[in-house]
Structure 1
Amino acid sequence: MSSLNFENQKALAERFVSQMLEKNYDRAASQFDDQMKTAFPESELKKSWQRVTLPAGDLIQMGVLQTAEMEGHRIVSVRCQFELSAIDVQLVFNSQGQISGLSLIPSKTEYHPPAYVDISTFQEVEVTIGNGKWAVPGTLTIPNSSSDNTESFPGVVLVHGSGPNDRDESIGPNKIFRDLAWGLASKGIAVLRYDKRTLKHASEFTESLISKMTVKEEVIEDALLAVNLMREAPEIDSKNVFLLGHSLGASVAPRIGEQDPDIAGLIIMAGNIRPLEDTILEQFTYLYSLSGSMTDEQKATLESLKVKVARVKDLKPSEEVPSTELPLGISATYFRDLGSHPTEEILKKLSMPMLILQGGRDYQVSPTNDFEIWEKELKTRDNVYLKLFPSLNHLFIEGEGKSTPQEYGVEGHVSEEVIEVISQWLKVG
């Protein structure tokens, strides 16, 4: 073996993964030995990487997981914790320090139910939301019936945040929607959750299709289909089907309620009510400030982002603007659609009951700038209840101090107090 020690190879492994994350596939592939260059040309490397990582969402954190030595080769595994799953990038180095082997291994995280869940009190049934090309699989969690089988249950449909979320809204080791489904079912409330269209049919979303997509295709259509499916289930009280949205799902919940006024009520968890572009800028500013002082690169990124935010504000009807000129590469069509359906205007016409919940440590949706607007808009309504949980983050998980993205990579559960507030509101309100 060469003089390269494991510390050298750890650094090489992290550099390789960073280059892949930054889409510098040519630079990453240049570290391969001759055999790997033949077996894994740049085009194949890109294809394999995207197939595994695109459905996993945004990166939360990255670090060397373990090292090993076998038959003269050194193996370094780098754990990439994405929003929806963890992926282990296993690299084999030869004696010259070149990469002679590569494996991308999705890491399954075992779910540990929180103490407030009683799995003996409910059952789960697999269902399909919609039909045809965009049908998505889901799970209906149903409380066990009483002995006379005459009981019907209130139902809740869960609507995800942004990105290609699975039915559990898995973020790192956390499964927010499974916590909600199992926690509420333990209290006699049925819950329907499902995989997002952009996850189940990820390969169908070409650049052309994404450029034309709005929140209607991404979220609203399947949410409405799910509500109708739940109403038809024999165990469900069809007049008591509610909709619970988290993050983006919460932001568009009033719009869903507007389209289906028979929904019994809306539960809004961390709902952004301001323009999306403003929230994006606020998030980046917060994240860059965590280290105390911004780097020159971060300052430049923020200045560029401010220009892109201003570009969104100035969008004209039907104007063609490359997504590269807009925040996070989101299309002009998507931003225009959100801007043409302001939540405050929808709320003025919406009479259904609402429960508005917010974490006080949430840096993605502001407990002041957003939650206070919900309060202002709805304070005169006697069928609306608002509650702030000071110690909870965007995932409604308990914590201390400033919230960070790394916090999402630590296993936790939706607070029991949140489950209790929702269940009581459903039964009383």
Structure 2
Amino acid sequence: MNPVPKDNLDTLSQLFIGQLLKGDFSEATIQFDDRMKKTISETKLQQSWEDVTNESGILLQLTPTRSSNNEGYRIIVIKCRFQRFDVDVQLVFNEQGKISGLNFTPIKNIYNPPSYVNKSSFNDVAIEVGEGEWALPGILSIPVGLDQFPGVVLVHGSGPNDMDESIGPNKIFRDLAWGLASQGICVLRYDKMTFKHGKQLTPEMVEKMTVKEEVIDDALIALKLIRKTDNIDTKHIFLLGHSLGATVAPRIGLEDPDLAGLIIMAGLTRSLEDTLLDQYTYIYNLKGAITEQQKAELESLKEKVDKLKDPKYKDKIATQDLPLGVPIAYWRDLQENMPLDVVKEIDMPMLILQGERDYQVLNSVDFIGWKTALKERSNVNFKLFPELNHLFIKGKGKSTPEEYNVEGHIDDEVITTIVQFIKEL
């Protein structure tokens, strides 16, 4: 019998990975040869996969396969690029095209601190935000050798983020925490509820969840906690939000009027549904030619966005008919609390930062939106960084999703701008 051609094995490998990603472990084991079926059951395959991917975050990219031969077997390796780390999936195929060997290798990224970090100037202390079964692991980066210091709580962007807001090799919240702590500012960061407790959320809980339960409630608890830190200057506590965290920062400021100020990094002023449509349109057009499948996906997304905006549907839309499959309660909460409406109700100092290369939050719409709405406020500062992307990392040309897989750091000018804003108040 002739060996199965490599192109066919590449297709089988992609199929197998797709089944793992969908959680279809029963179908995946059908590709095993007889020996593998006796060695690795469907349950064991699921456990092995979840052991290496439980903390990996969302899938960003599948890299092209690489292959080799060994004693009549064909070895195929596919790198799965997840949000927080990569996983190499090694598949060993026999001549009949059946899987006779399997190995998952997580490749954790090594964090190399940026030059503006001085690790001798602060201590990291493990804490918990909240209590009981829903408590969240966190870290306080506390300056040393100071009698008193200001404090900052960091609030994540959308999705199940860890305390470092890790994306590929980048850890932008660790950059912020260590960069600010090196300048005498105490910083609290913590795992997002959907990252730490995502598997404990029942379908009923998800159906009713809004950004209040997902983000705002824990941020308010974190603010109470940082105020209890020894030597903290309770009159100089700030909230820093990135992306979704920046978008809802005015709502947190409304709930905690004792804050000294808000720092808004890449905050939306448009609706999230419009933003999603713009983002997918941008990404699909990056190569200049859009495929028929991408056209169909954009049309489907547009139909869902239009339905979400149509008053006649109000609360009568099935979750599968909504963008990203996110339930209606979440969307309605955001629609009823638009940032520029909420920000009119608070008068605390604000620093609003934007990367000009950001394709997710736009300088031409969102940043200008903040500037227009707050132009009469003397206690609001704005700063646009021409070379920075959504992660506030420097680059050139059009920003792309693949750029997030390149190691970088929050630009030092961002750190300097935030420090100056905090210390001048």
Name the TM-score, length of structure 1 as normaliser. 0.92
Residue-by-residue CA offset, 1:105-129 (whole Å, 9 max, x unaligned) = 3321100011111111111100000
- Which moves more between the two structures, 162-171 or 70-79? 70-79
SS of aligned partner of 2:365: coil
Task: Give CA-to-partner distance per residue, 1:5-32, whole Å, 9 cap, x none.
Answer: 7676455434432454466656544422
Instruction: Give the number of equivalent residue pairs.
Output: 425
Using the alignment, how far apart are the partners of 2:394 and 2:199 within structure 1?
A: 36
User: Within 1, Cα distance between the matches of 2:403 and 2:223?
Assistant: 32
1:354-381: CA deviations, max 9, x gaps?
Answer: 0000111111111111111001111110
| Matched letter for residue 99 of structure 1 | I
Match of 1:113 in 2: 113
CA RMSD of aligned residues (A): 2.4
Please list, as runs of the form range in 1=range in 2, the aligned pairs for 1:304-319 lying within 5 A after superposition.
304-314=300-310, 319=315
Q: Distance in 2 between the 1:54 and 1:331 partners?
A: 23
Equivalent position to 2:285, from 289, 304, 320: 289
SS in 1 for 2:123: strand
TM-score (norm 2): 0.93
Deviates more, 1:412-421 or 1:209-218: 209-218
Q: Percent identity?
A: 55
Query: Per the alignment, do residues 282 and 51 of structure 1 end up closer, same or farther by CA in structure 2, a change over 3 Å counting?
Result: farther
2:332 maps to amino acid = R
2:33 maps to amino acid: D
1:152 equivalenced with 2:148 (yes/no): yes
| Residue 329 (str. 1) matches residue 305 (str. 2) | no
Q: How do 1:12-411 and structure 2 match up within 5 A?
A: 12-21=12-21, 28-37=28-37, 40=40, 45=45, 49=49, 52-53=52-53, 55-64=55-64, 67=67, 72-146=72-146, 151-314=147-310, 319-411=315-407
Query: Are 1:78 and 1:88, in contact at CA under 8 Å, matched by a contact in 2?
Result: yes
Render the CA deviation track for 1:226-260: whole Å, top value 9, x for unaligned: 11100000131111110000011001110001001
Q: Distance in 1 between matches of 2:270 and 2:50?
A: 32
User: Residue type matched to 1:134 in 2?
Assistant: W
Residues 271-312 of structure 1 deviation map (CA, whole Å, 9 limit, x = unaligned): 111111000101010011111111111111111111100121
Q: Distance in 2 between matches of 1:209 and 1:48?
A: 28
Q: What is the CA distance between 1:39 and its match in structure 2? A: 5.1
In 2, Cα distance between the equivalents of 1:41 and 1:278?
44
Unaligned runs of 5+ in 2: none
Moved more, 99-108 or 329-338: 99-108
Aligned 8 A contact 1:285 1:302 in 2: yes
Q: Residue by residue, what CA displacement relative to the aligned partner does 1:370-401 show, whole Å, maximum 9, x if unpaired?
A: 11100111111011001111111000000111
Shift of the alpha carbon at 1:60?
A: 1.8
Give the SS at the match of 1:56: coil
Q: Distance in 2 between matches of 1:67 and 1:141?
A: 45
Q: How far apart, CA to CA, are the structure 2 residues paired with 1:271 and 1:119?
A: 30
